[in-house]
Structure formats: structure tokens, C-alpha cells
Amino acid sequence: MPVVQHLCDHGFDFAGKIIKTQSNKLHTQFDGATIAVFDWIEGENEQTETTIIKEYGLLAKVYTVPTDSIIISSEDFTNKDADDFFKRWSRLEDKPVLSLLENNRSIIEHRAKRLNIFSEVCRNDTSGFVITHGDAGGNFVVCGETDFIVDWDTVKLAPPERDAWFCVHWDWAMAG
């Protein structure tokens, strides 16, 4: 929620607009949960060859917003996800899945080693970090001539490339 307000404070209203509480807060607690209320956005959730260009145009604007006054998590390039994967693999009991993984062990281990190398290199330079959405694909709402990127729950300070990962499953993105 703070990042949405931060974007609005910098003139970008395409991330939604928070309706503040009576005590002027961005959220409140209710029944053990944190609740924020946003202005309703009329429109359709879309992602096509045409909308992706507009979506990246909006994300490029987000990348220009100063980050010095916002407190959000930052990409740390740890190996915890790969480590967790191998731990879970060691506890698997599903024979077909185990067989598939074992048949591809050398490839998986090779890629894990490469990931470790890239992680170590990237850990040393955070100078290009910007506000990233994390899963903008599928969270792009088209409302006539106005577009919105919603659902900022995976926001993180990171290289802008972090927002490109969701395109890899689109045939048209991989064709060129």
C-alpha cells in the first residue's frame, strides 16, 4: 500500500488510488487482517501483444520514481529459492515427479550453479534498483483510453528486468 501512495504522490495515478481511513491511514486492521480500500477501477483485465507495450510504458514511468523515501523490500539475490528446491526434492515421494527430476538432474544442477554465479555477481551492485511490480502481467486493467496496473503486493526494489519474467510464457513474446 505505501508504494501505491508513493506513486500517487509522484503524479502516477495508474496504480490505483487508496481511500484513506477516517484517521488518514492507508489501511486498517480487521479481524486479524490488514485491509486497504481502493477506488473502483472499471475495466477489463487484459494482456495481449497490444496491451503489453502500454503496460511496459507505464512500468517505465514507475522506474523513474525516486526510491529514497520508500521502505520496501529489496532484491538480495540470495540462493534461498534454489536451496529450498533441493531440500524439497530430497523429501519428495511422488515417483513420477522424482523420476522426471532424476532424469534431468545434471541440467538442473548445472543451472543451479549458474544461478549461484549470477547471484554472486549481481549481489555486488544495487545501484540500478527501481520500484518493480513483480507480476504486472495479468494485473493490467484497460478502461477505455485509461490503463491501470493493479495488485502491487509483490513490489520490490530490484533491476527493471524483474518485471519482464512474466512475458516468457507468451508465444508472441518468445517468437521474436
Ordered by start, the domain boundaries in the chain are 2-75+128-170, 80-123
String of DSSP letters for 30-75: ETTEEE-EE----SEE---HHHHHHHHHHHHHHTTS--TT----B-
What per-residue confidence (pLDDT) applies to 157? 95
CATH of domain 2-75+128-170: 1.10.510
What per-residue confidence (pLDDT) applies to 171? 63
pLDDT tens readout for residues 40-59: 888 888 877 778 888 889 99
Share of the chain above pLDDT 90, in %: 42
pLDDT tens readout for residues 124-161: 888 889 999 988 877 889 988 889 999 888 899 999 98
What per-residue confidence (pLDDT) applies to 117? 92
